[in-house]
Structure 1
Amino acid sequence: MPEGHTLHRLARLHQRRYGRAPVRVGSPQGRFTDGAALVDGRVLRKATAWGKHLFHHYDGAKVVHIHLGLYGSFGEFATTDIPDPVGQVRMRMIGADYGTDLRGPTVCEVIAEAEIGDVVAKLGPDPLRPDADPSLAWSRITKSRRAIGALLMDQSVLAGVGNVYRSELLYRHRIDPYRSGVTIGADEFDAMWRDLVALMKVGVRRGKIVVVRPEDDHGAPAYGPGRPRTYVYRRAGEVCRVCGTEVRTAVVEGRNLFWCPTCQT
């Protein structure tokens, strides 16, 4: 599932490509036909993101709310050569110079501007938003006996954090992912929050999750082609880049967790 930096990159891209101009919106697949008709031809005022949610704000207080989920993605094309839709295109947007096809989202709906508040009310602070209030996340963590490794993935605690940032952040701060939230100190949380903000800003800028410090960026290659190295994410059975201990994995609340049992004690 795309993590929060991906949605913020999309918001910025869509703002550049389509913002402040009329946009043609359709649904080749047919599942978003009624919603597309509500915004087709309207001016896209702005595109914003909160966590893993993307919002296209149109004139008339209409908003297209998108959550990519596990399989959603956007594909771009130039309007000089508009292709026939391929596959199940839920939504097609066409501007002056560019178009984009949305496939496979979990959510693609039109809501009123006032309803955005109902969506974000269920979410924790987004480290990439300038109005983020980390004290809201801290309050939920410090009152919970759930494992911090689970809390960091809970979108009602922190919006936009996925499996990569979760595993890597805990490693960078040498925190056992099974520690309960109530045992996390204020200084530990503050350090993690500052680090998370910085890491996710790098993700927005570079389009990749870069988490390994330069002095540790060596040894075994990354878990996938074109991916930067990680400390523990998807490295189960390999040796820790710092201490040489075998990296472990376990399923925590339905998601694979990765950690080093020596560095994270």
Structure 2
Amino acid sequence: MPEGHSVHRIARQFDRNYVGRAVRASSPQGRFAEGAELLDGRIAEGVRAVGKQMFLGFEGDTWLRVHLGMYGAWDFAGEIVADPTIASANGRMGQTNQRGTFLEDEPIMDAAGENSLTSIGAPRKARVHVRMSEQTTGLPEDDGEWPPPIVGQVRLRLLTDVTCADLRGPTACQVQSPDEVISTIAKLGPDPLVDDVDQGEERFTAVVRRKPTPIGLLLMDQAVVSGIGNVYRAELLYRARLDPHTPGRDVPEEVVRELWRDWVKLLAIGVETGQMMTMDDLDPDQWRAAMASRDDRHWVYRRAGLPCRTCATAILLEEMGARKLYWCPFCQR
């Protein structure tokens, strides 16, 4: 499932390439035909991400709400102006380590293209090509056909004169009024990139500390905290050396606060790099290896049966909240 960092990257891409422009909307699949008709021809006026949901505002107080869910993704084609907050000064996508040291001019892709500008969300076997603008370099040219051909089941296509975004497989795709957007966001927990960080910490801590629910479930509850999915849950719990089954109300307050502060840090790294990097204190060679391979990027996630990187105990795999949970029974006791 796309986690919070991906949705924030999508929102920034829409901000750079759609806001201020008239948008042609269609539903090639037909399942969002009425909604697309309401959006068609309107100027995009703003965009925001909250947790795993994105809200794209159009003139006339009309909003598009998209929740990618387990399998959703946006595929981009045409000209893409890279977000300068996640690009290096020379216009290329850059990588930095967790202390901010610049490491690479070129993006380091993993096998799933997680750092891609062209498809953000659930992994895709095929990637659409893009024609990069003068602000960005390094990705393949398209084949010259415009607009690009429709491939597969596209729920919504948003098209400007130079950029195309195709939405596939979302859990939710709907038109909302401003009041409906406010109501939707009000049901979500704090997001470090949206809410005041200190206020978010207080909200998160207060909710967790009164709940009998296991902390491993609370971190996945979007009403408790926004944006955390299966990968970040496992990694945050390991980094805190916290047993996933511990009731929230039994987790020491300072540990709860450290969970929030660690989420603030990891989310920022994810948005910047496009990858869920959760390993600390890597040298440049280790960083490049981790950026290229998920096997070198995480402490416990997808390491069932393998030795813990710290204590060599076999990593356990169980189901919690209908999702796979990876954890170390020695380090997290």
Report the TM-score range of the alignment, normalised by the length of the smaller protein: over 0.9
Matched, 1:250 2:291: no
The residue aligned with 1:231 is: 299
How many Å apart are 1:215 and its aligned residue?
5.1
User: What is the identity, as a one-letter code, of the residue corresponding to 1:101?
Assistant: D
Percent of aligned pairs with the same residue? 43
Q: Give the Cα separation in 2 of the matches to 1:257 and 1:225.
A: 23
SS of 1:128's equivalent?
coil
Q: Which structure has the higher relative contact order (CA within 8 Å, separation 6+)? A: 2
Matched, 1:146 2:247: no
User: What is the identity, as a one-letter code, of the residue corresponding to 1:119?
Assistant: T
Q: Give the Cα separation in 2 of the matches to 1:29 and 1:165.
A: 33
The residue aligned with 1:176 is: 243
Gaps of 5+ in 2: 80-143
TM-score (norm 2): 0.75
Question: Residues 91 and 215 from structure 1, CA distance in 2 versus in 1: closer, same or farther, beyond 3 angstroms?
Answer: closer
1:108 to 173, 183, 207: 173
Matched, 1:68 2:68: yes
2:309 to 241, 256, 262: 241
SS of 2:155's equivalent?
strand
SS of 1:54's equivalent?
strand
How many Å apart are 1:166 and its aligned residue?
0.6
Q: Give the Cα separation in 2 of the matches to 1:149 and 1:119.
A: 24
The residue aligned with 2:103 is: none
Taking the TM superposition and a 5 Å limit, the aligned residue runs for 1:1-265 are 1-78=1-78, 81=145, 82-131=147-196, 133-214=200-281, 226-227=293-294, 228-265=296-333
Q: For residues 186-222 of structure 1, give each alpha carbon's deviation from its aligned partner in whole angstroms, at most 9, with x where no partner exists.
A: 211111111110110010010000101135996xx87
Q: Give the Cα separation in 1 of the matches to 2:277 and 2:69.
A: 22
How many Å apart are 1:184 and its aligned residue?
1.3
Q: Give the Cα separation in 1 of the matches to 2:272 and 2:31.
A: 33
SS of 1:230's equivalent?
coil
How many Å apart are 1:225 and its aligned residue?
6.6
The residue aligned with 2:88 is: none
TM-score (norm 1): 0.94
Q: Give the Cα separation in 2 of the matches to 1:48 and 1:215.
A: 32
How many Å apart are 1:129 and its aligned residue?
1.6
SS of 1:89's equivalent?
coil
Q: For residues 95-152 of structure 1, give each alpha carbon's deviation from its aligned partner in whole angstroms, at most 9, with x where no partner exists.
A: 1321111011111110111211111122111122243522222222111111101110
Q: Give the Cα separation in 1 of the matches to 2:322 and 2:233.
A: 14
SS of 1:108's equivalent?
strand
Q: Give the Cα separation in 1 of the matches to 2:240 and 2:186.
A: 29
Aligned pair count reads 262
- Judge which range, 103-112 or 73-82, deviates more: 73-82
Q: Give the Cα separation in 1 of the matches to 2:299 and 2:30.
A: 43
User: What is the identity, as a one-letter code, of the residue corresponding to 1:188?
Assistant: V
Q: Give the Cα separation in 2 of the matches to 1:29 and 1:177.
A: 41
Q: Does the CA contact (< 8 Å) of 1:124 and 1:157 recur in 2?
A: yes
Q: Give the Cα separation in 2 of the matches to 1:260 and 1:10.
A: 33
Runs of 4+ in structure 1 off by over 3 angstroms are 215-218
